[in-house]
Structure formats: C-alpha cells, structure tokens
Structure 1
Amino acid sequence: MKFAAFNSIAIAVVTGLFSGAAGAQEADRNIMASMEGGSQTLIARDIAELGDRCGLPLNVLDSHGSLENFFGVRNRHNTQFGIVDSDILNYLSAYRGSNADVRQAIEGMRIMLPLYDAEVHVVAREGINSLHDLRGKRLGVGQKDGTAYLTSQLILDILHIKVAERVSGSADEMIELLRQGEIDALLKVGNAPMPMFMDGRLGSSFHMVPITDEVLHASYKPVTLPAGTYSFQPAGVRTIASKTLLMTYEYGSEKNAYYKNSCKAVADFTNLIVGNLDELRRVGHHPKWKTLNLTEIPKGWEVGTCVRKGLEPTYEVSCAQQAESAENEQYLDLLHERLKQR
C-alpha cells in the first residue's frame, strides 16, 4: 500500500528537518510533547513532576506533533523521550523494507511505554454523515506534519476517498474556518474530551461524524465517544483510536558517557512511571492515566534495553526504591516472552 503523505516523511528523513534545532538543551534530560490540544503536554508534565521529586529534572519541550517528536528523539542532543502517535510507526513500518532512508530513520528507535488511546474526531456541517461524504470536500487537518495531518492521509488512502483539499492550520484556525464555511469538516486526533471542542464555539449546526468502516479496524481500535462528550454531540458516536506511545532511543551499548547517562535516564524514568502508576491514576493531570495498559506494545517495534533495565525487580532509582507493582510484573513477563521469540 502506498500513502501519499509518505513524501513529507521522506523529506524529513533526507533533509534532517527537525535536526536543525538540535543544539544542546539546557537540561540533560528532555521530553518532546505536542503543545496543541494539551494532552501530550499534560502527560509529559506528570512524568516531569516524578523526576522533580526525585531530583532528576526533565525539561518538557513543545512541538508541533508526533512526527517532530519522533525525529527529535532521533536527532536532538539530550532528548531521550518523545510522545508519538502510532500512525507514525505505521507509516515507517510500511516502508522500512523497501526504503533505505526509512530504515536509517528508524534505526535505534525504541518503544519505552505504551500510553493511551487517542480518538479520531471528525466534526462537520450538516450533510456530511460519513467519511465517504467528504469526497470532493475541504477537510481541515491541523498543522502540517502533525498527527491529524498524517492520520487523515492514512484514512483517506485506505478508504480511497479523494477530498478537494486538505487545509492546514492551528486548532483555532480550523475551528474558525469551519464556522465560516471555509472548510466542510475538520479532523483532529487526541484524548476526548478535547479542549478545542469545549469552548462553545461549535453549536448545534455541527456534529461528530461517525467512523464505522470496518476496513479501518486493521489499523485502529474501534471506540465510542459517550453521549454528551461535547455539547454538540448528544448521542454516543462510534469512531476509531490510535495508540499514543512514549518513544526513546537505544542507548544500551553505553559506548560513551553520553550513552551511559542517557541509558540511566531512560531506566530511571521507566522505573518511576511504572512504580508510580497508582498515584498517576489518582492525581495525574490527565484522566487517560486511568486507561493506560502497559502490555499494548505495537508489533514490529523493539522495547529498549535501558527500558528493560529500569523494569528489573532489583533496579533502584537513586532517589528512592520504587515499589514493584503487579503491572510491572505483567509488563516484564510480556517483555521476556517477546524476547524469547526473537
């Protein structure tokens, strides 16, 4: 299967699109999270707070989306963590066997932890009742190379839907263009409820478009947005969701001081997150902590050596010994089982 949006990824790989800003950061540990919509940032700040309590400061770097986060971990100095939507991995997996640039781009990239499901939202004017009604219409898709930009192209390609135009812009711009009739619908990917849809700008003349095409279930999880998730959505709506992941790099060789320090950072924060999951579920800034399932590891991608190190029962973060949890054991069992199959 070919996806038209791959061109933007290929350009990013070849030109080092996100490595230009890859100068040394002020902090020794950094996590990249998309600032738009706020969900990734809230998750990243919760992780950073765990580090602060342990005396391990973690700097949260704003980005324009998952693609930038992926290449940030790949190319930026002292950026050991990035929050990435699984659609990025789907694109890259589709081409890793036939494209040398893609193989180079993903070399060394590792899964740290699966985080949460991000729901696909399609909001439209009257007359658009399915994705197929978007044929020949103008669709808002967020920032270029952001998650929605790539997800929209994936979905349209899978369903063979040709829109008149995919319009890029910020979340606020997309809302205003929809209100003014400059676009017919907009697509966003994020944790429901998304703040951009909750400020009252969208009234009863707009609605959430259901996504029920079963062919999409090979790549996405079918989910339902409960009735009343948004003021303009009185009934439950079927849609799809993609997995959001915490990515890192393979520093396990510890070939120099930088790799050694980065490996320790990955092991420390793996241990901190897993050891404090109960607390994150109770008081974390985002409700998606409550739904996190550590066993949902995407196929075809490896978990980092330093991640496994941080999950070992005997591993201790220097600030305090982390309590071993049942989920830690479950995740370790799954990892060990996967490793035996390699």
Structure 2
Amino acid sequence: MKTSVKAIVGTLFFLILAAGAAFAEDLGLITGGEKGTYYQFGLNLQELAKEKGINLSVYNSKGSIENIYAVFKRPRTQMGIVQSDVLAFVAKVRSNPVLARIAEKTKMVFPLYNEEVHLLGRQGIADFKDLAGKRVAVDREGSGTYLTANLLFEVSGVKPAEILTVGTDEALAQLKAGAVDAMFYVAGVPVKLFTEKVAAEDALALIPIRDKSIVEYYPEADIPANSYAWQPGAVPTVAVKAVLISYEFRGSNCDLVGRFAGILADNMDWLKANGHPKWKSVDLDYPLKGWEQYACVVKHIGKTTMTAPQEPSEPNPVLDAVKEMLKP
C-alpha cells in the first residue's frame, strides 16, 4: 500500500513538473484592438506557431502605450507590437526613472511595416488644417493613435474644438451619426474596421495630411487608391513604423523569444502568402534608427515558440507621462 501511495505521489509530482515545464514554454504577445492590424498580425503568428507545435497566446489591448508598459511589467507578456513614435517618446523622457528603465529594457525583435495615419471625416473636410474648431476622436488613452494624433496637433498648431478619447468602433458610430467631424486610426492598410464598416453611402472620406510642419517629423506616405471600396483615389498621409518588441530577458525567456524570432524569419514567405496583406511590405532588416535589435534574437535567427493579460489595475507611468506632456 505504501509503495502504491509513493508511486502515485511520484507520478503526480512528475506530472506537475511536466505541466510546469510546458507552461514555461508559452510566450505572450500583446497587440491591439480586434479590428486592427496588430491583432491580425498576432493571429497570423499564432497560426504559424501552432503549425510548429508552439503555444502562442495573443492578447488584444488598447494599443501601443498600454503594450510597451505591459511588456515591461506584466507576467507572461514577453512581446508586444508598438508604434515607433511611442518608443521614441519613452526613450526621450529620461527624467522619469520608470520610463528610463522601460527604455533601457525594451528591445526590438524586428521592425515590421509602415502604419499609415488614417484620418476619416466628413466629405466637406478637405485637409488636416480644416480640423481646427472641429470635434475629433483620437482613440482611447492607451493607444498609439492617441499619442500620434495629439503629437500631430502639437507640431502643426491645429486646435480642434474638442478631442474625444473614445475607441475606434464608437468613434466611427459617432462619425456616421454626425456627432464628431473626424476620427484618427493609425494602422496598416487595409484597416479591417474601415473595410467592413464603412460604405460609399456613409458619405465619409479619408482626409489628406500634408502639413509642412508634420512631414518634418513623420515620413510621408500614401493610402493607395481602392484600398477601400469607397476610396477611389490615393490619399497622401504620414506614417509610423510598427515594431515587434521584447523585454530584455536574460534567462529562459531569452531563448524562447530568440527561437520565436527565428521561426518568424524563416517563414516570411508563408506569412506573405497566408497572412494580412501588410506582411508583403514587412522588411525585417529595415534599419530603425535609435533601436537596437535584441541580442537573443540576433543569436537565434533560425528557430521557435508563443499567449495575455487583463486591463491593468495599476497606474501606467507611460500613459501618465504622455498625458503630462499633452497638458495645455
């Protein structure tokens, strides 16, 4: 009987250890809203990882500001996708010790693609400058769109009558109802929300962004003609770079992130053929100024692995710093 009990205990102990080891093999990727390009990229990577026998968890979020802090702070959230201007902003705010630490510990896995600034509004708004005195939705406070839109207003000197911090779905509903005049959405073309939820009869249009003061800070881009069924001509705008980042781990997570990066690099042809259209414009070797590639990625270029969190219950110092910077 004692031998039997010992055997059972030994078996349970082995199973617990095995379960723990399997759990430790998971990676987490925090992305963005379910209608955005980040989340679609995450799902593509999850499918690829599954084919390789890896458990990849993909978390949705408010966006880049939430993501950069989540990678730094939250358990089982080793990687995230963020906008390059959010990374640059964090790196510049050196007076805040938490942000300085985040900047020190945040490393680039790969640069991904250009994210076009979509400015959708009523057809009577001809240019970015026409937003002066208008009601404009800039997405929720945790998003990269929120930061970028406010920075565009800051550098251009354009002052809307009201800036609304509502999610993109709500913003689009209010735009259709005439409650707001325009909305921002920073994401790679095509944006699922605008593909599925906007039609010609809505009488909305993409608004050009070509303000001289803006293009001094942001690279110029175009939203190609017919990117959306209701958009016949190309629209000039600006862009930021989407970046896959990781915390600078030194233990087993270093190996996991490195192996995952290798799988991504080795399967770009599959991602371009089966994933979101933006995979076709991804350049993993793009020299992103000021950001160093994670040493664990450089070491492993060639292998595997990859799941996320709840709303943060604690203050986010990245968001606090952004809000402080944007105070009138």
Instruction: Output the CA distance in 2 between the equivalents of 1:81 and 1:191.
Output: 19
Q: Secondary structure at the match of 2:215?
A: helix
CA shift for structure 1 position 114: 0.6
Q: 1:36–1:171: 8 Å Cα contact kept in structure 2?
A: no
Give the 3 Å change call, closer, same or farther, for CA 200–61 of structure 1 in structure 2. closer
* Mapped contact 1:179–1:202 kept (Cα < 8 A): no
The 5 Å alignment of 1:1-342 reads 28-96=26-94, 98-198=95-195, 199-201=197-199, 203=201, 205-251=203-249, 254=250, 260-284=251-275, 286-311=276-301
**Change in 2 beyond 3 A, CA 1:33/1:204:** closer
**Cα separation, 2, equivalents of 1:100 and 1:316:** 35
Aligned residue type for 2:152:
I
Displacement of 1:206 in angstroms is 2.0
CA distance in 1, matches of 2:116, 2:278: 11
**Is the alpha carbon distance of 1:196 and 1:305 closer, same or farther for their aligned partners in structure 2, counting shifts above 3 Å?**
same
- Please give the per-residue CA displacement for 1:207-226, whole angstroms capped at 9, x wherever unaligned: 21111123323432211122
Alpha-carbon distance in structure 2 between the residues aligned to 1:36 and 1:220: 26
Instruction: Find the residue that maps to 1:269 and give its secondary structure.
Output: helix
**What is the DSSP-based 3-state SS (H/G/I as helix, E as strand, rest coil) of the residue aligned with 2:107?**
strand
Distance 1:226 1:177 in 2: 26
Asked if structure 1 preserves the Cα contact closer than 8 Å seen for 2:176 and 2:202, the reply is no
Q: Cα 1:79–1:226, aligned 2, differ >3 Å: closer, same or farther?
A: same
Structure 1 counterpart of 2:15 = none
TM-score where L is the length of structure 1: 0.77
Q: Is the 8 A contact 2:263 2:303 kept in 1?
A: no
- Mapped partners of 1:193, 1:38: distance in 2: 9
RMSD over aligned CA atoms reads: 2.1
Cα offsets for 1:297-331 (capped at 9, x unmatched) = 422222111111112xxx6559xxxxxxxxxxxxx
Which range moves more in the overlay, 99-108 or 188-197? 99-108
Q: Is the Cα–Cα contact under 8 Å of residues 27 and 59 in structure 1 kept in the other structure?
A: no
Deviation at 1:233, TM superposition (A): 2.2
**Structure 1 residue ranges without an equivalent (≥5):** 1-24, 255-259, 319-342
Structure with greater Cα Rg: 2
Amino acid at match of 2:108: I
Q: Residues 153-200 of structure 1, C-alpha deviation per residue, up to 9 Å, x if partnerless?
A: 011101011111111222221112112221111111112221222334
Which has the bigger relative contact order, CA under 8 A and spacing at least 6? Answer: 2
**Which deviates more from structure 2 when the two are superposed, residues 298-307 or residues 225-234?**
225-234
Task: Tell me, in whole angstroms, the C-alpha distance in 1 between the residues paired with 2:49 and 2:203.
Answer: 45
Structure 1 CA distance for aligned equivalents of residues 64 and 34 of structure 2: 11
Letter in 2 for 1:273: L
CA distance in 1 between counterparts of 2:270 and 2:24 reads 29
Amino acid at match of 2:254: C
Residues 1:316 and 1:182: Cα distance change in structure 2 (over 3 Å): closer
Structure 1 residue 75 displacement after superposition: 0.5
Aligned partners of 1:29 and 1:80 also within 8 Å: yes
Distance in 2 (alpha carbons) for counterparts of 1:55 and 1:232: 41
What letter matches 2:263 in structure 1?
A: L
Preserved CA contact (<8 Å) 2:116 2:237: yes
